[in-house]
Structure 1
Amino acid sequence: MSVARQIKPKPSKLEQQKALLGGASYEDHEAATLFPLMSDDRFAELVESIRANGLIHEIVIHDGKILDGRNRYRACVEAGVEPRFRDFVGDPFTYAWSANGQRRDLVLEQRAVIFVMATKKSEEWKTRQAEIAAEANRKRSEKTKAQHAVSNPRAGETKSGVPTTCGTTKPASAEPKDKNTSATEKAAASGTNRGAIERAERLVKADPALAAKVAAGEVKPTAAHRQLKKAEVEQKVKELPDGKFRVIYADPPWAYNDTREGLGAGDGQTVDRASTAAKNHYPTMTMAELKELDVKSLAADDSVLFCWATFPLLPEQLEVVKAWGFKYKTAFVWDKDRGTFGHYHTAEAELLLVCTRGSCTPDADKREAQVQRHPRGEHSRKPDAIREMIDRLYPHGPRVELFRRGEAPDGWVIWGAEAEEAEAA
């Protein structure tokens, strides 16, 4: 009769560490964790090197924790080699940066984030040490005064019996010396550049947890900055006052200088020569009237305007946009598939101007095609797909559609004479 052999479970890494070190194990110091661990491939190479050659560089300990040599420590455990240690006394964050700051596996933006975090932690550490020293000095001063008072009760009095104030100890300054170091100096010290340092400081201040993920190599710097920007946008949107809109979509009722009479059909088709005039389809407004509209009062400090425009009136339409407080940036083109007869060509396209006030680039990472191809509908009606595109580009914030004909779309407010007529209907 065979007896099943008991299989002893493999000890965990922590158990292996304790066995190797006689029951002791070491945690990682906070300064060391600012840097990412080695990749699996590089760690495997380190294990083989230590197994073959032993540990060459000692592992540095500060306050009972590993300050430098986390990878070497783990490799020793893996290789079954007893590690050697030495203590470090001083600023652990400055030491960690000096030992690891120029690692070749760190990308520039990641290096900048680690440098900013290490510098911040170093300043905090120095402040704590200064406070501890000041408190120790205060206690020593009080103890000396108490002892002196016991041995000489009248030593602290003048002839009139009034106590003197001599012997007051001024606490040590807790202000770090390098607080006002410029971004250029920090860039030189970190081996990066000014832009990387400024972006890193912004990230560390706004989202320390996200910055730590960048430092550890868990999140790419570009992805982190995009995430931070989105968070900032969402916060700004939350703080918008009532009646202020971040997204404005306008289809102004432009008044043209002609009735389009006298135009013949260039393709042999019959054309209603008056039907193409805008005033025959909706009440139009002159440029002066449009400029007088108080669109500024609707716009948030950081907002975007999508405004429909036409090629013949483009210079004047850009002036209207400017009067509303927006700056022209670019334009989308609506390809209508089929056109109407014009003075110089068949009019097959229309422009959607993109204009901003303050800073208002798209929230979405994906960009839309500049030429949007959608079949034309009834006169002046714009494709719903365009508004859906705007929603994709700017999913955050209150939005208003000016000169809307019909009911308000989901998530939008409508404004203007046409909107009032729609609501009254």
Structure 2
Amino acid sequence: MGIRKQVKKGKTYYALYAGNKFVKHIGNAAAYRKYLKDIGRKENELATLKGTVTQPTMPASVFDVIYADPPWQYDFAETDSRAIENQYSSMPLNQIKRLGKYIPAAENAVLFLWAPAPKLREALEVLGAWGFTYRTNAIWDKEKIGMGYWFRGQHELLLVGVKGEFSPPDAEARYSSVIREARTNHSKKPECVYT
């Protein structure tokens, strides 16, 4: 399994290819599982190769409400099958921090930043690097136990940061700091945060 580079008409293309190892190991279940895992990793590597991912055009206007769910990178996974990279390509902290310069935030803005509990310190660093000051947070109780190292995680944090002079909502428009909604698909957030 590998990545093959090809140049055609001045453009560089990358593609996955299967080597002879696949044919030799197809009868071995353990080797096949490893092969599938390697495919996932190579696909992630392929997606992050410079120049192969098209970035969406950022809006020309600025916004006073910013909502972000960074692709946090974890340093530890009990098994390779539980690695976050099996779900999506993650980013190291320094790259997430650098994204701040691309955020179309108004001079007075609020940031809602999702942070898994083990990434709280990093999330606070990101919030500051993006030019926001931490104000408070809410807890999403996912109502189902998940994975974890110290605790089996059942919640996620939604940090709130402000930039400039951004006022909190009127008292009658404020939500509870605890959001109770069962988790569904990987990385899908509760519906109420979109309203």
Q: Above 0.5 in TM-score?
A: yes
Count of equivalent residues:
136
Q: Structure 1 residue 245 and structure 2 residue 63: aligned?
A: yes
Residues 309 and 372 of structure 1, relative CA distance in 2, 3 Å threshold: same
Cross-structure match for 1:349: 155
Cross-structure match for 1:320: 126
Paired AA for residue 386 in structure 1: V
Give the TM-score normalised by the residue count of structure 2.
Answer: 0.65
Shift of 1:275: 4.3
Cross-structure match for 2:140: 334
Shift of 1:291: 1.0
Shift of 1:339: 1.4
After superposition, residues 232-271 of structure 1 pair within 5 angstroms as: 242-261=60-79
Contact 2:181 2:190 in 1 (8 A): yes
Q: Deviations over 1:78-123 (max 9, x none)?
A: xxxxxxxxxxxxxxxxxxxxxxxxxxxxxxxxxxxxxxxxxxxxxx
SS in 2 for 1:290: helix
Shift of 1:386: 1.5
Cross-structure match for 1:383: 190
Contact 2:100 2:131 in 1 (8 A): no
Paired AA for residue 300 in structure 1: A
Q: Deviations over 1:53-86 (max 9, x none)?
A: xxxxxxxxxxxxxxxxxxxxxxxxxxxxxxxxxx
Cross-structure match for 1:196: none
Cross-structure match for 2:11: none
**Relative contact order (C-alpha < 8 Å, sep 6+): which is higher?**
2
Contact 1:306 1:352 in 2 (8 A): yes
Shift of 1:259: 2.5
Contact 1:296 1:325 in 2 (8 A): no
Q: Matched residues, percent identical?
A: 41
Shift of 1:374: 0.4
Pick from 108, 111, 114 the counterpart of residue 308 of structure 1: 114
CA distance in 2 between counterparts of 1:277 and 1:338 reads: 19
Q: Structure 1 residue 368 and structure 2 residue 189: aligned?
A: no
Q: Which runs of 5+ in 1 are unaligned?
A: 1-241, 262-273, 389-425
Q: Deviations over 1:163-192 (max 9, x none)?
A: xxxxxxxxxxxxxxxxxxxxxxxxxxxxxx
Residues 359 and 317 of structure 1, relative CA distance in 2, 3 Å threshold: same
CA distance in 1 between counterparts of 2:83 and 2:180 reads: 24
Contact 2:65 2:111 in 1 (8 A): yes
Give the TM-score normalised by the residue count of structure 1.
Answer: 0.31
Shift of 1:295: 4.2
Q: Give 1 or 2: higher helix fraction.
A: 1
Choose 1 or 2 for highest CA Rg.
Answer: 1
Paired AA for residue 259 in structure 1: A
SS in 1 for 2:145: strand
Cross-structure match for 2:85: 279
Contact 1:246 1:304 in 2 (8 A): yes
